[in-house]
Chain A
């Protein structure tokens, strides 16, 4: 007997395993240039913050660590601000902190939103009415107004607390999207088949409905991250952000307070503005490309 006649399994080397696993992923990135561009943009910025720590002046982000009001030079690549902080060191710490707030807030918001959306959409009934009305109410109340009230009283100290507070207000939008999709999915044939074949509610929700919501969840997550960063930086600009970390928004707050704009100190407010523009461009590209999956009828339209 010869093994050659049998359909022999390919030797499972690491390389083939990787290729088999990654080809759909690689294809996805290849087909969605805009998505890839957005991810690369964000990754580069993140790496800048990460690698930059090695080159920055130790404790350069502490007040009074360096001479005040220096224009960019070889020693201080991004200059120094009016509080005696090295702008490069500030940005290097501020950028990862901003990402952290965004992703944490997005994760908190989408997790709560998805759970509420799935449960209310699947079970409906009075609980659904309650949560839907509540979500509608929360959508109407300007989130920033609530956040300002909260942070005016609870002087936010840490980045994590800030992210959680922002995330707790980010759930209604994702809950609404997930709920409406769940409402339509639960009537589909494959869900009914699963129900007839004895799957319980938990299995149906997690194994039948949830996988079909991937695109919506991804889109909701990107939206929540974007909104989270927007809200967090907004609070920081008002001086209501974390006190112990030189965040991007706090840098802008100081730039405002010490009128950097009118002193011509562009290196003080320029880097935060450019950073935020890059972050939001990246997130916008990603959400634009995800829109195609969450909203298939858009595929046909050219333009934009």
Chain B
């Protein structure tokens, strides 16, 4: 690929797997290091629930064997890693025989849609606002109005979500209060369903977009200030190019790629925020599922969701990093060493 050599490519992929490895390791050790041994408590609770009578001891031992808890820690760890690598997250504790994968798969779809659309809008608006704020030719009125869009940034995602919910769903009843689609009508690819899904997604997406625009706009403004100081801007001006063309094709075009790095860093925060927004709106994505699992002490599902969240952010950052040199020819990773 242009702009990078094999070594960088391999190192970057390795980084992705490192993310998954660290996340899985945290997932494995936190419950086992926690005081009170929750896993032991769960197995004994399950043993009690299912028998509670004679053979309690045998039952408990059977469960320990069933979940491999009678093995030494390093074997449990190796087995956990092996299963994770095969995307085998085990079975839900709350809805026992159900596979964790079956529980979280639909949630992944809803979350990806919500977060993906929100990030795209945030990025687009953030870039535009930041660019206009830094550009000398922006009319005074626009310049005065633009910072208003950043007001949402002082509220955490979920709080803005609550306010929007109160105003648009509870008080005025313009939009639905919870869920992701109209219940009552079956999900299908038709106009009615699409409108329903859109109406349900609007408020959660708006809470994410409005609260994160500010950060993107500020970084963009900083990048634009740097870009505007470059010599080629002066040259473009001297050539007599139209101002609009200079703004969008010279300044913005060159300030966007570094902004992608900001996106890569901000993504983790956006996902964190989306978890809480989903809970506010009872939006059936990963965040809401995570909350449900915490309420139900469904530890295998909690583990799987945290891992999926870490992996998906890691994957997005990987993609951004790999397409980066294609977007910005100034950046090359050929022959680059660590550091």
Contact = CB atoms under 8 A, between A and B. Distances in A.
A203 interface: no
B294 A261 contact: no
A145 to B, nearest CB: 4
A140 B314 contact: yes
B155 A276 contact: yes
Interface string B1-40: 0000000000000010011001100110011001100100
Contacts of B170: 261-262
A284 interface: yes
A141 interface: yes
Contact of A234 (B147, B272, B306, B313): B272
Interface string B294-330: 1101010011011001100110010000000000000
Contacts of A262: 170
A300 B225 contact: yes
Contacts of A142: 268-269, 271-272, 275, 309-310, 313
A159 B19 CA distance: 30
Interface stretch (A22-30, A97-105, A125-133): A125-133
A227 to B, nearest CB: 8
A277 B19 CA distance: 34
Interface of A (DSSP majority class): helix
Nearest to B163: A273
Contact of B299 (A137, A152, A238): A152
A145 B23 CA distance: 10
Contacts of B163: 273
B143 interface: yes
A191 B162 CA distance: 52
B90 interface: no
Interface in A118-136: 124, 128-129, 132-134, 136
A290 to B, nearest CB: 12
A82 B38 CA distance: 32
Interface residues of B, number: 61
Contact of B133 (A154, A300, A303): A303
A191 B143 CA distance: 43
A133 B18 contact: yes
A238 B154 contact: no
A171 to B, nearest CB: 14
A98 B159 CA distance: 16
A149 B306 contact: yes
Given A138-B22, A140-B310, 15 more contacts: A132-B338, A133-B15, A137-B18, A142-B309, A143-B272, A145-B271, A146-B306, A152-B302, A237-B158, A238-B279, A239-B295, A262-B170, A273-B155, A297-B222, A304-B133
| Cβ-closest 4 pairs across A and B | A144-B272, A153-B34, A141-B310, A145-B306
14 contacts: A129-B338, A129-B339, A139-B268, A140-B310, A142-B313, A144-B276, A234-B276, A237-B279, A238-B276, A238-B294, A295-B222, A297-B222, A298-B225, A303-B221
Interface of B: 15, 18-19, 22-23, 26-27, 30-31, 34-35, 38, 133-134, 138, 143, 147, 153-156, 158-159, 162-163, 165-166, 170, 218, 221-222, 225-226, 229, 265, 268-269, 271-273, 275-276, 279-280, 290-291, 294-295, 297, 299, 302-303, 305-306, 309-310, 313-314, 317, 338-339
Interface of A: 124, 128-129, 132-134, 136-146, 148-150, 152-154, 230-231, 233-234, 237-240, 252, 256, 261-262, 269, 273, 276-277, 280-281, 284, 288, 291, 295, 297-298, 300-301, 303-304
